[in-house]
Chain A
Amino acid sequence: MSAAVSDQITQPTFVATVRLVAEREITTRLRSKAFRWMFGLLLLAAAAATVLPNLVGGADPVSVAVVGTSPVDLDTMKDSDGAAYFDVRDRSVDRPAAEQLLRDGDVDAVLVFGDDSLTVLGLRDPPTRAVQAFSAAPKVELVDPTGHDPAVAYFVTIAFGVLFFLAASLFGTQIAQSVVEEKATRIVEILLSTVPARALLTGKVLGNSALAIAQIVGVAAVALLGLALTGDAISVGDLSAPILWFVVFFAFGFVMVAALFAATASLVSRSEDIGSATSPVTMLIMIPYVLSFVAHDNVLLTRVLAWLPFSAPISMPSLVFSGDAHWWEPLGSLALLVVTTVAVIAVGERVYRNSLLRTGGKIPLRDAVRDAVAGR
């Protein structure tokens, strides 16, 4: 070996190796068209979800037919938000004709003005908006003006749930594909003869986690921007603590899920088998996702979910948002999540290392975990 060549070689550290592997994962993803499309669609969805409801927001005018003569100009009647009450379709029809319009669905209500009276006709339900227009509004005072609308809390839970579920399943699947690709093309044998399996797994998990978190931050930024632009009722201030907790929980929860995806994917050798191999992990993120919707108005169930490591990233931030969490609860749940993540990585790394060179059929998950736990 010539001196010139030796100078160029360093003994790579574990960290340097992990960084190289992570860099490759990231550049490969960024170059993939599918990835860029997916990210674009996610951003678009985030923008649409926050902006659209406000653009079409406000109550729609009710379509009416008028019998008799109105003492006021119906077209100029507006509610407190400035939205018109009425869309007058037909004026000065007789009552049977107006009723027929109502039956045919051409109008939602009929206003019958008598000499000194007004009757509002509806088809089956009272046309509330038409009634409101002629009612005197009582004075309203709010006792708890800062309390959260249950609908908003539900929306927040959905947002956390969708983000975590989407990111976990998207990036989890990508990690699984990356593991199986290396196994299927047998490059894994070259890699393992060069670097430790642990460095390979760590690089993969960290590279994909970094991308996932960057994506989440991007989506969150677009969503917050959308809310700010359209002036929605949820202020950024209300959400900052839950969002912060969400990011922290997301980081650990995602690493745990990523390690699980990598370990289960290493059990198979063909990309067709990824789905069946990783289905236990998909269930582990799917069930808490669905349960968190069910639990949104049930504090006890949300609290239980907030403490379970797999649902904590979704449910604990919602619990913080709804104000039902004690200050120590996110910390305790986070500690539990971190411990679980460490345990999952330890077992997952063994499964991964043991399975990488076993090609051919699918290795039963139970066998792989048993071997890994037994320290083989």
Chain B
Amino acid sequence: MLVLDGVTKSYGERRALDDVGFTIEAGRLTGFVGGNGAGKTTTMRIILGVLAADSGSVLIDGIPVSAAARRRFGYMPEERGLYPKMRVREQLVYLARLHGWTAAAAGRSADGLLEQLELGARADDPLESLSLGNQQRAQIAAALVHQPDLLVLDEPFSGLDVMAVDLVQNVLKEQAARGVPVLFSSHQLDVVERLCDDLVIIAGGQIRAAGRRDELRAQYARRVWELGVDDPDWVPGWLDGRGTVGATTDTSVQLEAPDDVRRDLLATAIARGPVHSWRHVQPSLAEIFREVVG
């Protein structure tokens, strides 16, 4: 488990991170969401030790993260990059050895990953000769080749085609299943929503919300209910100002109204004809995001 506490970082006059604190739990996928310039990359670079924080602490299992511990982290930066002219397998072995692996163990790990990512046939080709999709796979392999204790991925889904998105998703799930804490940022809120167990929302260098996805959903659930009936046009007239009507379709209407009004509405609807559904609307991640950031 990795804990950030009170992390602050300024670039000159501009405060990039202000008292940032959150937790990445072992075996769980934590989605890191925020607009451009919100502080995601800076936070990740501080976790990785590429940047130094002005103040605050980063703890792993209660101990301040040392350079030795950081060598056991895996990182995929937002702007991808490996050596273009170096052979794929060779780079993986090189990176694993920089992380402290012996040449033989690094070779075995690289071979295993290349097989798993279906790059075995291209192992001895220079990276630049691979298709973009295969280069992305090699990039993932580079973050995993030393079997990291913690995985940090900055925008792992940006610029990926559908196949590659699935591949990355599976890899992240696998790593979490191995017990590794995984932090990943993304602009694609739908992917984050589908994939992550925990959520951290950052805006203007401050953490606006953090916690389990479902708890956040419940927390930010508005009092919106959805009634599923055929031809719901009568509902606004029936409410007559006792509540507000939201999105309406041919077979459903969303509304916000006090408890007793909702009870009456449901009874009325049942009396009028079949009711297909009646549910408390969960906010989407995009809605929560807009609410906490806006």
Contacts and interface: CB of A to CB of B under 8 A. Distances in A.
B39 to A, nearest CB: 15
Given A5-B147, A9-B100, A24-B94, 12 more contacts: A1-B149, A8-B105, A9-B105, A20-B98, A28-B83, A28-B85, A28-B86, A185-B82, A185-B83, A189-B77, A193-B50, A193-B75
A192 B67 CA distance: 11
Interface string B64-86: 00011011010101011111111
A186 B77 contact: yes
Interface of A: 1, 5, 8-12, 17, 20-21, 24, 28, 181-182, 184-196, 357
Residue among B81, B86, B97, B143 facing the most chain A CB atoms (10 A cut-off): B81
Given A186-B80, A190-B77, A190-B142, A9 B50 contact: no
Category for how many chain B residues contact A: 35 or more
Most interface-central of B48, B85, B95, B98 (chain A CB within 10 A)? B98
B21 interface: no
A189 B102 contact: no
Nearest to B152: A193
B154 to A, nearest CB: 9
20 contacts: A1-B147, A1-B149, A5-B105, A8-B102, A8-B104, A9-B100, A9-B146, A12-B98, A185-B82, A185-B83, A186-B77, A187-B82, A187-B83, A189-B45, A190-B77, A190-B81, A192-B50, A193-B49, A195-B98, A357-B45
Q: What are the 6 tightest A-B residue pairs by CB atom distance, in nearest-first order?
A: A186-B81, A8-B105, A185-B81, A193-B48, A189-B77, A187-B81
A159 to B, nearest CB: 34
A186 B79 contact: yes
A211 to B, nearest CB: 17
B20 to A, nearest CB: 18
B95 A194 contact: yes
B13 to A, nearest CB: 15
A12 B100 CA distance: 5
Interface of B: 45, 48-51, 67-68, 70-71, 73, 75, 77, 79-86, 94-95, 97-102, 104-105, 142-143, 146-147, 149
A195 B99 CA distance: 8
Contacts of B149: 1
Given A1-B147, A187-B82, A194 B98 contact: yes
B156 to A, nearest CB: 14
A196 B81 contact: no
A10 B83 contact: no
Chain B contact residues: helix, strand, loop or mixed: loop
Contacts of B86: 28
A131 B79 CA distance: 79
Nearest to B91: A187
Contacts of A191: 98
A193 B71 CA distance: 7
A10 B81 contact: no
A19 B94 CA distance: 12
A299 B67 CA distance: 53
A10 B94 contact: no
Contacts of A9: 99-101, 105, 146
A287 B271 CA distance: 98
Contacts of B75: 189-190, 193
B100 A10 contact: yes
A10 B102 contact: yes
* Residue picked from A5, A188, A194, A196, most chain B C-beta under 10 Å: A194
B81 A189 contact: yes
B101 A11 contact: no
Contacts of A194: 70-71, 95, 98-99
Contacts of A186: 77, 79-81
Nearest to B75: A193
A315 B152 CA distance: 53
A2 to B, nearest CB: 9
Nearest to A13: B100
Given A20-B94, A194-B71, A194-B95, A185 B84 contact: yes
